[in-house]
């Protein structure tokens, strides 16, 4: 790739020998660029610099630099058209935190050191609605979103390289899941619920139906609430949720257990959604907390623990690849994170099957 020296013909007529020299070149997109330098010797040095950077694909002379604000607006607008509402919310949370803690200016000035500073600050960040000490998993969730954003910025030509992301080590803990006993307690407490109201059936029927559906399908709560009457066939016992409503953009189509079908028949109505919730979304989580209190149980989270319960209840009965498919996980490693290994070993009687040396078996029945 070559750059060249030239003088503007109109200025040369007016200024003669004092006319400044300029450098011209074509960028990576084939667009003609130029820069007025001054005396010929300086222009020649600048020409060599441009040629060197062009050969390495690093030339940014004459290009318009992108601000963080412009990139964020473009990224969010693009993501909004291609991602689910939940994913977009995660991206916005990460971008907002990075903007608040780092105050970035131009995209091409953001480097690995800024990512490291963000990690250090985010670990001890104190924001309304967040815990006093942000967990490594929460920080890593922000980092994953930021990494996606910076990869997109590189594809758009806004940055030359994606900064390095060093994720925090997360403690390995067996996940909490709703077991049969906890499910039974929640199920028996459903008659204490008062919402959804103004239905031809009691609110308890709605809650029993959604609990049974979640525990026996493993669907995410967003997918359950998006299930339409048109996508539910109670005669064949088949439910389908469109890919647009799923986290991984994969269509969910499952054969429902007869028990689930029986619960769904109890809440049939003319609403377009099977589990219509005509109240503010926040009240659904408030009511789930009230249900836990009425059932006398306490555990972290809400509906997603039923998804964990589905995985742990069926891990010993279904092949690993089938369980992964039912949960619509792209990777088997994701499904494994849902399994409580300690409880699984306990169910299998692992301790009783372990080899014990003869000298230690004395006196053991």
pLDDT of residue 352: 79
**Out of 46-50, 231-235, 241-245, which region has the weakest mean confidence (pLDDT)?**
241-245
Residue 250 has pLDDT above 50, yes or no: yes
Q: State residue 128's pLDDT score.
A: 46
Residue 274 pLDDT class (50, 70, 90 cuts): very high
pLDDT band for position 291 (cuts 50, 70, 90): very high
Cα separation of 100 and 348, whole Å? 49
Sole residue written with tokens 């016992």: 237
- Taking only the tens place, the pLDDT of each residue in 191-229 is 999 999 889 999 999 999 999 999 999 999 988 999 999
Distances (CA, A) of 143 to 81, 100, 354: 22, 15, 42
pLDDT tens per residue, range 259-269:
999 999 999 99
Q: pLDDT tier at 326 (50, 70, 90 boundaries)?
A: confident
Q: Report the candidate in 290, 327, 329, 333 with the shortest Cα–Cα distance to residue 309.
A: 327
**Average pLDDT of every residue of the chain:** 87
Better-predicted residue by pLDDT, 245 or 287: 287
Token readout for 287 is: 């009511």
**Lowest-pLDDT range, 64-78, 166-180, 238-252?**
238-252
Q: Are 318 and 289 in contact (CB under 8 A)?
A: no
pLDDT one-digit tens code per residue, 67-103: 999 999 999 988 877 777 778 889 999 999 999 999 9
Q: What is the pTM of this model?
A: 0.63
- pLDDT higher for 330 or 266? 266
pLDDT for res 358: 81
Cβ neighbors of 102 (< 8 A, separation 6 or more) are 110, 114, 117, 118, 121
Question: CA–CA separation, 162 vs 112, rounded Å?
Answer: 8
Whether the pLDDT of residue 293 is over 90: the answer is: yes
pLDDT digits (tens, 9 = 90+) for 339-354: 887 777 777 777 778 8
Question: Can you give the pLDDT at residue 84?
Answer: 75
How much is the pLDDT for 304?
93
Q: Give the mean pLDDT of 292-309.
A: 94
State the CB neighbour count (10 A cutoff) for residue 324.
20
Arithmetic mean of pLDDT, 320-343:
85
Give the pLDDT confidence score for residue 189 in this predicted structure. Answer: 97
Q: How confident is the model at residue 327 (pLDDT cuts 50, 70, 90)?
A: confident
Give the percent of the chain with pLDDT over 90.
Answer: 50
Say what the pLDDT of residue 290 is: 97
pLDDT > 70? residue 281: yes
> Taking residues 103-119, what's their average pLDDT?
93
Task: Report whether 292 contacts 299 (CB < 8 A).
Answer: yes
149 contacts 75 by C-beta, under 8 angstroms = yes
pLDDT tier at 59, thresholds 50, 70, 90: low
Query: Predicted confidence band at 60 (pLDDT cuts at 50, 70, 90)?
Result: low
Q: Once rounded to an integer, what is the mean pLDDT over residues 308-337? A: 88
pLDDT tens-digit readout, 6-42: 999 888 888 888 899 999 888 766 778 888 898 999 9
Q: Which helix (H) or strand (E) holds 81?
A: helix 68-82
């Amino acid at each position: 790739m070559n750059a060249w020296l030239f003088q503007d013909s109109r200025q040369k007529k007016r200024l003669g020998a004092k006319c400044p020299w300029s450098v011209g070149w074509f960028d990576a997109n084939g667009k003609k660029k130029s820069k007025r330098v001054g005396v010929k010797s300086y222009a020649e040095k600048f020409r060599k610099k441009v040629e060197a950077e062009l050969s390495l694909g690093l030339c940014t002379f004459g290009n318009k630099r992108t601000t963080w604000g412009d990139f964020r607006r473009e990224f969010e607008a693009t993501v909004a058209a291609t991602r689910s509402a939940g994913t977009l919310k995660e991206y916005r949370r990460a971008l907002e935190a990075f903007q608040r803690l780092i105050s970035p200016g131009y995209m091409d000035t953001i480097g690995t050191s800024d990512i490291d500073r963000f990690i250090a600050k985010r670990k001890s960040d104190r924001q309304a609605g967040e815990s006093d000490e942000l967990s490594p998993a929460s920080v890593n969730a922000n980092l994953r979103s930021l990494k996606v954003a910076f990869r997109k910025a590189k594809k758009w030509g806004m940055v030359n390289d994606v900064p390095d992301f060093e994720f925090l080590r997360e403690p390995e803990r067996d996940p909490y899941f709703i077991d049969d006993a906890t499910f039974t307690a929640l199920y028996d407490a459903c008659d204490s619920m008062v919402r959804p109201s103004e239905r031809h059936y009691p609110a308890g029927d709605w809650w029993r139906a959604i609990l049974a559906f979640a525990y026996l399908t493993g669907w995410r709560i967003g997918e359950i609430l998006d299930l339409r009457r048109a996508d539910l066939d109670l005669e064949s016992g088949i439910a389908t949720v469109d890919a647009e409503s799923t986290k991984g953009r994969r269509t969910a189509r499952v054969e429902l257990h007869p028990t689930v079908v029986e619960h769904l028949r109890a809440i049939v109505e003319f609403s377009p959604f099977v589990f219509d919730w005509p109240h503010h979304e926040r009240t659904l989580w408030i009511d789930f907390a009230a249900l836990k209190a009425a059932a006398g149980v306490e555990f972290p989270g809400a509906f997603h623990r039923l998804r964990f319960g589905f995985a742990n209840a069926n891990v010993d009965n279904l092949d690993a690849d089938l369980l992964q498919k039912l949960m619509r996980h792209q990777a088997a490693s994701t499904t494994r994170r849902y399994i409580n290994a300690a409880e699984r070993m306990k169910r299998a009687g692992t301790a009783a099957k372990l080899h014990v040396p003869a000298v230690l078996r004395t006196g053991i029945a």
